[in-house]
């Protein structure tokens, strides 16, 4: 299942939650950066994982 994130909605919500005052230029730059980061991680996120993944061991000194 692939879902498309509306980054502008996310930016607006985070601006309200964090009580930030961003101008249009800052919002536009954040939108560019979020889209850039999303394009970088897309191949990793599309990689299929096994149904069951072995948990890494825990080190006990």
The DSSP secondary structure of 4-32, one letter per residue, reads: ---HHHHHHHHHHHTT----HHHHHHHHH
The predicted pLDDT at position 2 comes to: 55
Residue 43, classed as helix, strand or coil, is helix
pLDDT at 1: 44
Identify the helix (H) or strand (E) that includes residue 40: helix 24-45
Per-residue pLDDT of the chain (61 residues; tens, 9 = 90+): 457 889 999 999 999 999 999 999 999 999 999 999 999 998 888 888 778 777 788 888 8
CA–CA distance, 38 with 2 (Å, rounded to integer): 13
């Amino acid at each position: 299942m692939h879902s498309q994130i509306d980054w502008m909605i996310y930016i607006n919500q985070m601006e309200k939650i964090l009580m930030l005052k961003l101008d249009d230029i800052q919002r536009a730059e954040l939108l560019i950066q979020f889209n850039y980061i999303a394009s970088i991680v897309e191949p990793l996120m599309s990689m299929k994982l096994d149904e069951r993944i072995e948990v890494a061991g825990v080190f006990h000194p």
